[in-house]
Chains A and B, each alone.
Chain A
Amino acid sequence: MHALGNAQDRDSEAQAIRLTGLLALASRGDQAAWRELVGLYARRVFAMGFSRFRNRELAEEIAQSVFATVAAKLASGDYTERGRFESWLMRVTMNRIRDEARRAARQAVPTDPASLVDIREDGQRGGAERDDDSGRFLALRDALTQLPDADREVLMLRHQGQMAFKEMSELLDEPVGTLLARHHRALRKLREIMESPDAAERARRVEGR
């Protein structure tokens, strides 16, 4: 276990050095470095947007906006890498997602609660797209939408953003222990939602469609 830990440390150190080099090259306008940088993080940023809005075009738009911001910052020469690039990138992403959620909330039209339940079950809330999720994933998505925003953000950063708790700690400015507890609580709530009788009923209706 100790040897495995050392190997992981060496890997993360090598990745950090490589990332610093890529950032330096990209900030000088190196297109290959920029492509590699985008390749490393693009799908994680996209997954966070897609997980929140269930809309492919909107998720792409968010990713483009995030990387445009990053590119502009790098090109301006104002960014100095101190081993926190990933935290910063995810912060930009979270802010963009929050902005979009606020904009969507302002444009939302009050609707009959019963029809809202149906929309959630379809996984098409806010103009989202129908996908080929099985019943299990639909139930999971449904449960995720019922979580409070704070819990949902922790899960999104951890799973869609693939962030380590240490990076999440830098991003959210909270101790690692607090975040571990928050993650644990969020998973527990999610589990409870999925096991509730309402959820079972919804799952049956979804599978019966």
Chain B
Amino acid sequence: MTMENLNINRMQDNGLDADLVATSTAIDELAARDACAAGRGFEDRLAIATMPRIGARDSGDEIVYSFKAHAARDSWVRPMRLAAMIALAASAGFVWFATRPAPVAAPVAPEEVAAALSPVEQDVEVWLGITDTEIAFARAEVDELAIDSDILDESLGGEPSAGAWFLEGESL
């Protein structure tokens, strides 16, 4: 605080009582000491420390400009980038498919093959045995049915055959 300021303050404090003017002046002197407590070079330190803030608008403009440029470029770059990614993925897939190693069958021991086929062979033999017996039985049954049918036809004379009744849906 300069002496000029102190004098101005005193002029403005003219309305104060004499004892209060002394107190007011004492506070002014105390304030001057407080201001000096900052030490030399305080203003420079402070100005330098806060300088980036004052220049913020210029850098802000640059940021806005670059953002706009980026946004404009995106309108045509983005689809091209997408297409390039798809083409790259397809090429990689094709190369992998073309150069992949051929599948190799694992060697199987003859004993294992024989063991796997053994139940099948047994089943076939069982089926063959069953079939012969069943065929002979069914053949005998068919023969007996044919004989019974002939006998029935003879006994009925001019009547239509039982097979015809059955086919025409009429009851005996």
Contacts and interface: CB of A to CB of B under 8 A. Distances in A.
Interface of A: 26-29, 31, 34-35, 38-39, 42-44, 46-47, 50-51, 56, 59-60, 63-64, 67-68, 70-72, 74-77, 131, 133, 136-137, 140-141, 144, 155, 158-160, 162, 164-165, 180, 184, 187-188, 190-191, 194
Contacts of A46: 34-35, 37-38, 42
Given A68-B50, A75-B53, A76-B57, A42 B43 contact: yes
B43 to A, nearest CB: 5
B50 A67 contact: yes
Given A42-B38, A42-B43, A29 B33 contact: no
B153 interface: no
A131 B37 CA distance: 9
Given A188-B20, A191-B19, A43 B33 contact: no
Contacts of A180: 15
Contact of B47 (A29, A35, A59, A76): A35
A169 B138 CA distance: 127
B149 interface: no
A67 B46 contact: yes
A56 B38 contact: yes
Given A47-B31, A60-B38, 6 more contacts: A38-B47, A43-B43, A64-B50, A162-B31, A184-B20, A191-B19
B35 A187 contact: no
B37 A38 contact: no
Contact of B35 (A38, A43, A64): A43
A25 to B, nearest CB: 10
B53 A140 contact: no
B51 interface: yes
Contact of A50 (B29, B34, B47, B55): B34
A141 B34 CA distance: 11
B133 interface: no
Interface residues of B, number: 38
A80 to B, nearest CB: 15
Nearest to B49: A64
B58 interface: yes
Contacts of B47: 31, 34-35, 38-39, 42
Interface string B11-23: 0100110011001
A169 B42 CA distance: 29
A199 to B, nearest CB: 13
Q: Which 10 A-B pairs have the closest CB atoms?
A: A71-B53, A47-B34, A43-B35, A47-B35, A38-B47, A71-B54, A159-B31, A75-B56, A160-B31, A159-B27
A50 B38 contact: yes
25 contacts: A29-B55, A35-B44, A38-B50, A42-B42, A43-B38, A46-B35, A46-B42, A47-B34, A47-B35, A50-B38, A51-B31, A56-B37, A56-B39, A59-B37, A63-B38, A64-B50, A68-B53, A75-B60, A76-B57, A131-B37, A141-B30, A158-B9, A160-B34, A184-B20, A194-B23
